[in-house]
Amino acid sequence: MPDRLYPSDPGEAALVLFLDWFGHRFARSTRTVEQSPEGTALRSARIQVGRRWELACTLVNSVHGDADLPFEAARAAVEQRLDTEGLPYALWLPRGAELPTGEPGLSQLALAANEARAVDGDRLEVRRGVSLYLRRTSLDGSVVTVLGGLAPLWAQFTNRVAGSFQLNAQDLHRLPESEEERTALIERVVLAAGQPDVDDSCVVPADDVWTANRLPGDRAYVIGSPVAEGDEASAALRRSLRKLLREAQALPSAPADARALVILAAATELSGEKVSLTLRGMDPTLYSGYDLIAVVADGQVRIVLDTRAGALPWDAPLPG
């Protein structure tokens, strides 16, 4: 794509997903009539709703400050490959996950994207095969110490294995949404714990499952943060979000029928996004001027501030 700049502005994908949610929620058509230049952490857009109304949208990219040069180069490489394959996806990285920058990693990821499975409408699961490593450390006890993506489920192994084990699941960042598949993976680990070679180390196959959205158009987006979950990441998010919301208050404000704040966030799963909780702990005057507040993460839209039914002009029955 010779006229296309890489890496993309992930805020564009967030706005597309928000407007898709908005159109389904209010059963109104939308059209972007004006937006500020791309590539910044703070953008504004004016959205025509139906034929009569205007929505002023402020878009905040809460992970803009996390990006470094290697991560942006990797994003560019993956986006170019997805574009070449004709895959207009928004690919959502689990926090801290690494992107391939060369072969065979790029080809493996492109193949996984081509074989992505639908989970909900235009949401997809991109599966990449990984190995978990299980080793028994003691014949005593009945517990598995877990590093990586299975750590939140460590209690499900308790009293189901003979001895004490270490499970290295650091290549597994995100589990599939299906509870049946999660249970099946736990059963594979329990079964592996009973194998005679487990004292040396036993390999358990698994899928690292990333979220993607199929978007209109012909452009791919890679969205995420190279910073893993943790206290430092949460503190940085609070500082960045407070700063950006203050800057948003200073943006020029033209008349509109309603105002929306859309925040792009990085999260391994939507249930773990931290922006909603962070907003609740902030001075509410930083976001009191908005009629609607939404967080876009993991390929989904979560509403933080909603209006009562009929409060927005396009949400009321048309006269006559």
Which pLDDT does position 200 carry in this prediction? Answer: 82
Tens digit of each residue's pLDDT (9 = 90 or more) over 172-227: 999 999 999 999 999 999 999 998 888 888 999 999 999 999 999 999 999 999 99
Task: Enter the DSSP assignment of 157.
Answer: G
* Calpha distance 55→310 (Å, rounded): 16
Place of tokens 């598995």: 144
CA atoms in the 13 A half-sphere facing the CB of 317: 2
Burial of 305 (0-12, 13-18, 19+ CB in 10 A): middle
Long-range (24+ apart) CB contacts under 8 A made by 26-34 are 26/312, 26/314, 26/315, 28/314, 30/55
Task: Using pLDDT thresholds of 50, 70 and 90, give the confidence band for residue 320.
Answer: very low
* Calpha distance 150→170 (Å, rounded): 9
Q: 44 phi and psi, to 5 degrees?
A: -130, 150
Model pTM score: 0.91
Task: Enter the DSSP assignment of 269.
Answer: S
Q: Per-residue pLDDT for 41 more than 50?
A: yes
Q: What percentage of the chain exceeds 70 in pLDDT?
A: 97
Domain boundaries, the chain: 10-119+217-315, 128-208
Mean of all residue pLDDT scores within the chain: 92
Mean pLDDT score, 26-31: 92
The residue among 174, 110, 164 whose CA lies nearest residue 140 is 164
Lowest-pLDDT choice from 36-45, 76-85, 238-247: 36-45
Q: Per-residue pLDDT for 300 more than 70?
A: yes
Q: Please tell me the chain's helix, strand, coil percentages from 3-state DSSP, rounded to the nearest 5.
A: 30, 30, 40
Which pLDDT does position 16 carry in this prediction? Answer: 96
* Calpha distance 163→137 (Å, rounded): 8
- Based on its alpha-carbon atoms, the radius of gyration of the chain, rounded to whole angstroms, reads 22
Is residue 45 within 8 A of residue 261, CB to CB? The reply is no
Return the top range by mean pLDDT from 33-37, 101-105, 208-212, 236-240: 208-212
Burial of 33 (0-12, 13-18, 19+ CB in 10 A): exposed
